Amino acid sequence: MEQRSYEFELDRIAALIRERGATRVGLQLPDGLTSVAVSIADEIVQETGAEVIISGNSCYGACDIDEKLECMVELLFHFGHSSALFAQRRILPAIRDATTGLRPDENVIFIELRSTIDVKPVVEKAAAEIIGECVGLVATIQHVHELESAIEVLKQAGKAASISKSLRLDAAPGLVLGCEFGAARAVRCDEVLFIGSGGFHPAGIALYTGKRVIAADPFTRQVRVFEPDELRKKRYMVIARALDAQSFGVLVGTKSGQYKLADALAVQRTALAKGRNAYVIALDEICEEKLLGYAVDAFVNTACPRLVEDLVAFKKPVLTIAEFEVVLGERSWDELWP
Ligand code: SF4
């Protein structure tokens, strides 16, 4: 990430600290931005006199709030993600409420890191990859404010563009998260132009919506195309490997925004009812080393769904809940991505 290309909102941060009278605050930044953590800390100390503690833990999404650090500080500034989906889902705030009297949304302040980079050059390049006459436009939180200017560029290239809003997100039209693609699904076009960095969002959009995705990265100016059939074929192969599984490890994410215990227990009950063994395993990060020791034939992941792409390479099959239902004959293959 190019740190100078983002709005860090340091004036707003300092004003909030003063307004709340906070004496100790926390900072949580995505991995790509840890290099600027100490200069942000310096500025906060200089401007407000507050003590600053930097989170050294992962920060993959708004689902990933460092809640232990949150307990140590009066305000936690979480950078780089939208609060749109996860702010209401957290476990810990109930405890904080009782002890501090603060509402959960008052403890954690989301600094979205809007990008200041011009998206027009990469949209111009991406327009050449659009096959049809119309394209749906989506973006990550960093670029969603640039969608109108992307429409203008596409218009000049002779392409109609449409922006829709996810019904699940109380957020700007066109916004997608790594696990919420309602804005891409809602557009009528068969192709989607995604503005943002990395492959997780466009791969997820292609897999779950069945639409061809053209991904335009404003920082690298790279354009990549994601074909849904190729991605789905990979998932079919993982499902096929799990068809004979007699035992399952059902993974529950302990990060608040990924915590779906009820779903995991329902998966376990279904497996047991079908004569298979199933064990619920709670963990914060899902990686192959953590799963290697378990004597089960396959896993079902109820945590971060974007891991679907990463998990393809694991030795034992790791399924989504829908894929698990296909394995047990509870769902047809045609209904995998409704
Ligand atoms: S995709 Fe995963 S990491 Fe990203 S917001 Fe969703 S649950 Fe969190």
User: Each residue of 194-203: pLDDT tens digit?
Assistant: 999 999 999 9
Model confidence pLDDT, tens digit, residues 266-284: 999 999 999 999 999 999 9
Whether 61 lines ligand 1, by a CB cut-off of 6 Å, is yes
Q: Does the structural domain 120-226 have CATH classification 3.50.50.60?
A: no
DSSP H or E stretch at residue 186? helix 182-186
Residue bearing the CA closest to ligand 1, atom 5: 61
Mean pLDDT of 71-94: 80
Q: Is the pLDDT of residue 27 over 50?
A: yes
SS3 of 245-257: the string is CCEEEEEEECCHH
pTM as predicted: 0.91
pLDDT in tens, 210-254: 999 999 999 999 999 999 999 999 999 999 999 999 999 999 999
CATH 3.40.50.11860 domain extents, the chain: 230-335
Contact 147, 154 (CB under 8 A): no
pLDDT of residue 338: 75
257 lines ligand 1 (CB under 6 A): yes
Sign of the torsion formed by the C-alpha atoms of 31, 33, 39 and 43: negative
E strand or H helix at 279, and its extent? strand 277-283
179 in contact with ligand 1, CB cutoff 6 A: yes
- The residue to mutate among 57, 60, 258, having the most atoms of ligand 1 within 8 angstroms of its beta carbon, is 60
Homologous superfamily of domain range 3-111? Diphthamide synthesis DPH1/DPH2 domain 1 (3.40.50.11840)
State the average pLDDT over residues 88-101: 56
Domain 230-335 -> CATH class = alpha beta
Comparison of pLDDT for 228 and 1, the residue scoring more: 228
Average pLDDT over residues 191-195: 98
Q: Where in the chain is the domain with CATH 3.40.50.11850?
A: 120-226
Beta carbons of 122 and 95 less than 8 angstroms apart:
no
Structure tokens at 251: 């993974």
Cα–Cα distance for residue pair 207/76, rounded to 1 Å: 34
How far apart CA 320 and CA 287 sit, in angstroms, is 15
- In the chain, residues under CATH classification 3.40.50.11840 are 3-111
Q: Which of 63, 166, 181, 254 to mutate to test the pocket of ligand 1 (most atoms within 8 A of CB)?
A: 63
**Residue-level pLDDT at 1:** 42
User: Nearest C-alpha to atom 6 of ligand 1 is from which residue?
Assistant: 179
- For 46, residues 6+ apart whose C-beta sits below 8 A from its C-beta are none
Percentage of the chain exceeding pLDDT 90: 78
Does any ligand 1 atom lie closer than 6 A to the CB of residue 211?
A: no
What 3-state class would DSSP assign to 120?
helix
Tokens 């909030």 found at: 16
User: Which atom number of ligand 1 is nearest to the Cα of residue 253?
Assistant: 7
Q: How far is CA 122 from the centre of its chain?
A: 23
